[in-house]
Chain A
Amino acid sequence: MEVKRIAKSGTFESNDIYIIVEPKGDEGIEINLESIVMKQFGEQIKKTIEDTVKSFKIKSIKITAKDRGALDYTIKSRVETAIKRAL
């Protein structure tokens, strides 16, 4: 699938994550993550985002994520929603 436009989901509330997805010129998944638990969970959050993107078979996407301590299921659903809004 292809990301056609900029879309977002989520909030800046505690335990939520704010996601912006946008088209990327070339191939690849680019993730820019800011998180209040970067040191403890940064890699795990990136992996969850990446796995969710891959489940849509998207090859080219830029994702900006501002995390306020979201759990994995929140991250998955916010990313999924943003992607669906961008298709």
Chain B
Amino acid sequence: MINAVSKEIPEYIEGYGKVKPFEGAFKNINKAQKTKVSLNCKSSFDDKVIGSIEEVLKKCGLRDGMTLSFHHHLRNGDYVLNMVMKEVARLGVKDIKVAASSIFPIHEPLVELIKEGVVTGIYTNYMSGSVAQAVSLGYLKYPVIMHTHGGRARAIESGDLHIDIAFIASPSCDNYGNINGVEGRAACGSLGYAIPDAMYADRVVAITDNLLSYPLCPIEISQEYVDYVVKVEEIGDPKGIVSGTTRITKDPVGLKIAKLASKIIEESGLLKDGFSFQTGAGGTTLAVAAYVKEIMKRKNIKGSFAAGGITGYIVEMLEEGLFNCLFDVQCFDLKAVESYKNNRNHQGMSASMYGNPHNKGAVVNMLDVMILGATEIDTDFNVNVTTGSDGFIMGGSGGHSDTAAGAKLSIVTTQLIKGRLPIVVDKVTTVTTPGETIDALVTERGIAINPKRQDLIERLKGTNLPIMSIEELKSLAIKMTGVPKKYENNGKIVGVVEYRDGTVIDVIRQVQ
């Protein structure tokens, strides 16, 4: 069948089930149901601290076919996923589904477990490195299911994604299972992505290298959700967890794109008192923040909030009084961790509060402006951040689709050409985010506004912004690069891309 972004998808996918086709970004948001949670209650006679991972796996009743979940706040410094999966393999258990909110190069040991059949399924929102390569080449038994950050929360809360055991990498934890991310050598700040897992998994295990006496203060994930606590040597490598600083780009092309994007924001009518804003941690999007900051200071504008993964740069804007508060689902650098720990106006949010379309209103719905990236964008404004044009998985939505749908103005900033690859194309290799939720594309050669935003086109008339059609931008790119050869696939589906509402927006096929 053909879905609403004109992608051919099967009605049934082996290892996934019946497909609900994507019907439109706002077609499937009205009523939802949350699932029941079964739990083993504790009395005052029970102790939660367990001696080893092996022991806790046995206590949790680990068996073939279970789904184990992990969260990615320790990013490329995470030891917990590998540590747990090593024990799982040693116990001879097979057919495990790994539900990790993101998978990074450090998780390479998973590749062996995939080949051995210990791991047969993966749910994730973002995937890079050798695991992504192995999945693209067809080694995983069942297709990987790619969620958005909000969509993962939805899937967990609705019961679509049932977690048997959740493992919470805990920078600090007390002996009764209260957890925070702000203390300890692996401090990573907000633990927002782990919250749905903690609330809805059958069993929840805190893995910590900083076991403290009761009670911990402050508490981010509370004892009422946690079954067991295991102390280990190290939960992660601080160097891989947070970068010392996140920096604004010095590349003149990136700066030009950022300047143009900031001008659209200025002209959009949204940049006034109460303004809300989100960017990623990339150098160009941070440069947009820097230009927006200049404008806000010059015009004496006081914003309401900034959200998302938080960087030191956004923290500076908070400290300078340009925003009232921050919503933080994940800290990107040490400055953000410090601020999250010490500043009351820097508050945490769960993945569900951040972007779940099936709750009573996510933070993304309140966003004015979102700055996004793209690996490819097509003439329908559909964006790919999931696969390269060679067909290999190299990323995933993360919060891309959630924020694009929520924000009043979502702007994709990208170079027109990256390493000879044209970024504006006829059809993206994989649709991650539907074009109907993208309002503008900014490149160094020009700006394209989505024709469905006639109001914005009208507003920008009479400005000196280099506005052209997206087809013109595409032709400009192709003229310089030539037409790239399409990647060849053998037809086998290795990945299912779910939109945030759980419908299927695209599939990923095996690279030849």
* Cβ contact within 8 Å between B390 and A69: no
Within B390-439, the residues touching A (CB, 8 Å) are: 390, 417-421
Residues of A contacting B344 in the complex (Cβ-Cβ under 8 angstroms)? none
Contact of B390 among A40, A70, A72 (CB under 8 A): A40
Give me the interface of B with A, judged by CB distance under 8 Å.
Answer: 389-390, 417-421, 480-482, 484-485, 487
C-alpha gap A72/B479 in the complex (Å): 11
In the complex, chain A residues 35-87 whose Cβ is within 8 Å of any chain B Cβ: 36-37, 39-44, 68-72
**Given known contacts A39-B390, A39-B487, is B482 in contact with A44 (CB within 8 Å)?**
yes
CA distance A14 to B254 in the complex (A): 15
Q: A: which residues have CB within 8 A of B?
A: 14-15, 36-37, 39-44, 68-72
A37 near B480 with CB under 8 A, answer no
Task: Name the residue of chain B whose CB is nearest to the CB of A48.
Answer: B482
Chain B CB within 10 Å, residue with most, of A36, A37, A44? A37
Seed contacts A40-B389, A40-B485; 18 additional CB < 8 Å A-B pairs: A15-B420, A37-B419, A37-B420, A37-B421, A37-B484, A39-B485, A39-B487, A40-B420, A40-B487, A41-B420, A43-B485, A44-B482, A69-B418, A69-B419, A69-B421, A71-B417, A71-B420, A71-B481
> What's the minimum C-beta distance from A17 to chain B, rounded to whole angstroms?
10
Which residue of chain A has the shortest Cβ distance to B511 in the bound complex? A39
Chain B residues with CB under 8 Å of A44's CB are 482
Give the CA-CA distance A7 to B233 in the complex, in Å: 54
Q: A41: which B residues are within 8 A, CB to CB?
A: 420, 481-482, 484-485
A45: nearest residue on chain B (CB-CB)?
Answer: B420
* Smallest Cβ-Cβ distance to B418: which chain A residue: A69
CA–CA, A78 to B96, complex, Å?
Answer: 51
**Is A36 touching B485 in the complex (CB atoms < 8 A)?**
no
Tell me what chain B mostly uses at the interface: helix, strand, loop, or mixed: loop
Kindly provide the distance from the CB of A51 to the nearest chain B CB, expressed in whole angstroms.
13
Residues of B within 8 A of A37 (CB): 419-421, 484
Q: In the complex, which residue of chain A has the Cβ closest to the Cβ of B486? A: A40
Cβ B421 vs Cβ A40 within 8 A: yes
Measured between beta carbons, the chain B residues less than 8 angstroms from A69 are 418-421
Distance A39 CA – B429 CA, assembled complex (angstroms) = 14
Identity of the chain B residue whose Cβ is nearest the Cβ of A68 in the assembled complex: B419
The 8 closest A-B pairs by CB, nearest first: A69-B419, A40-B484, A69-B420, A39-B390, A37-B420, A40-B485, A44-B482, A36-B419
What are the residues of chain A within 8 A of B485 when measuring CB–CB?
39-43
A69 to B417, CA, bound (A): 10
**Complex contact A71–B421 (CB within 8 A):** no
A33 shortest CB reach to chain B, Å: 13
Residue from B389, B419, B421, B482 within 8 A of A72 (CB atoms): B482
How far does the Cβ of B489 sit from chain A's closest Cβ, in whole Å?
Answer: 12
**Which residues of chain A come closer than 8 Å to B390, judged between CB atoms?**
39-40
B283 CB, nearest partner CB in chain A, Å? 14
Provide a sorted-by-A list of 19 A–B residue pairs whose CB atoms are within 8 angstroms. A14-B419, A36-B419, A37-B419, A37-B420, A37-B484, A39-B485, A39-B487, A40-B389, A40-B421, A41-B420, A41-B482, A41-B484, A41-B485, A68-B419, A69-B418, A70-B420, A71-B417, A71-B420, A71-B480
